[in-house]
Amino acid sequence: GNSDRKHIQDKPCQLAAESEAPGQLFQTGELLRFHTGQVLLEDCFLRRLPLPVSLVLMIDFQRTPSPGELLLYIWLFTLVCEEVRQLFHDPDGFGFRKKSRMYIDDLWNILDVLSIILFCLGVAFRLTSKLFHEGKIILCIDFMVFCLRLMAIFTISRTLGPKIIIVKKMMMDMFFFMFLLSIWVVAYGVAKQGILIDNDSRLEWIVRGAIYEPYLIIFGNFPQNIDNAELDLNLCSVNGTDPLKPKCPLLKDNQIPVLSEWLTIIMLCVYLLFANILLLNLLIAIFNFTFQEVQDNTDRIWKFQRYELIKEYHSHPAAPPPFIILSHVWLFIRTMVLRRPPIKYKEFKNELPQMEEEELLSWEALMKDRYLLSAQQKQ
């Protein structure tokens, strides 16, 4: 009925993921092979882009943009045009509001928008004499975001595709785990800084002693200012006047540090016990659960990813950047000048004839029964 039809139209990915005959849902094997080749072709162009970008940032970043840098600007401009096309391309008639919400809900699109914003901001800064170095810093950060975006190309791989899902889920697990870890880091760092250092007014060194150093302790960087045997007064500033050195611990009249060794060492042992042993092992257990959860559904997740990627590239111009600008020019001329309606493709169907719909509903009921039977057998 209408509810079944709506279920089919709203969740085509689920049908593709459960399908035992992907050729029926993707219509033909030629479509699958074509878009797979298209993804690999764009991969060849995009994965080689970080190399010239890195060369420009490290070797050829001058006050006046070099020809190689200008070529990179043109290259990335074509990527901006493609993102704009994706935002406004609405073959399913969702409307701009829903389409934009669907666009932002995708993590890869968020990275695209972030990289574009950072790139525009970095270029604007580097073209000014006062903010030249700040512009280079922003472009270097943008390069990191752009490299992270390249991970999306591996979703077509049956082996690496599910691993990307694992990384995304682990990042979410680690994000919430950092709230627990930050409590211990700040608690120990502030107490240690207050006991050892007397009235240091330099904000950068306060943050370093109260947050940065306790965080590095988790990775084995043992502090040197909590024990008389490790303390070197030549590496610190007695009055805190040297901006390149931390302030020395509180000293006695004979210039011997007043260190509460028994207290600071006990605090360090308790901190390592909870942060380095308890919490980190908890994080490893969470990661193991996430990995096992995704690993048990590797094939199904890969089919989801493959469907989404092929559907995206089905509406994607065939040419890779920077040659994709030619497709954009032709699309603009056809739509705005010649006033031709957009081409509608029929490989992906939103509505099915009655006979095909009945067959699909029967197939879906069969797959449901198989799933319930396999779940009962596992129990």
pLDDT at 121 over 80: yes
Q: Are 35 and 311 in contact, with CB atoms under 8 Å apart?
A: no
Burial class (CB in 10 A: 0-12, 13-18, 19+), 248: buried
CA distance 84 to 78: 10
Q: Of residues 81 and 345, which shows the higher confidence score?
A: 81
285 by Cβ neighbours in 10 Å (0-12 / 13-18 / 19+) ranks as exposed
Answer yes or no: is pLDDT of 333 > 70: yes
The chain-wide mean pLDDT, for the chain, equals 76
Closest by CA to 170, choosing from 313, 289, 305, is 289
- Average pLDDT of the residues in 138-150: 86
CA 149 to CA 151: how far, in whole Å? 5
Residue 182 has pLDDT above 50, yes or no: yes
Residue 326 CB partners (closer than 8 Å, separation 6+): 319
Amino acid at 338: L
Pairwise CA distance, residues 210 & 187, whole Å: 9
Instruction: Determine how many CB atoms are found less than 10 A away from the CB of residue 15.
Output: 18
Res 186: pLDDT: 92
Sign of CA dihedral 69, 75, 79, 85: positive
The CA distances from residue 131 to 63, 64, 73, 90, 246, in Å, are 11, 14, 19, 40, 29
Summarised one tens digit per residue, pLDDT across range 29-85 is: 444 444 455 455 555 455 446 666 777 788 878 888 888 788 888 888 888 888 888
Rounded CA gap, 221 and 214, in Å?
9
* Mean pLDDT score, 110-118: 88
| The pLDDT of residue 307 | 76
**What is the pLDDT confidence band of residue 151, given thresholds at 50, 70 and 90?**
confident
What pLDDT is stored for residue 185 in this prediction? Answer: 92
For 277-331, the pLDDT digits (tens) are: 899 899 999 999 988 888 777 777 777 777 777 777 777 776 666 677 777 788 7
Tell whether pTM > 0.85. Answer: no
What burial letters (b/e) apply to 160-171, b meaning 16+ CB within 10 Å? ebbbbbbeebbe
Residue 23 pLDDT: 38
Flag whether pLDDT at 249 surpasses 80: no
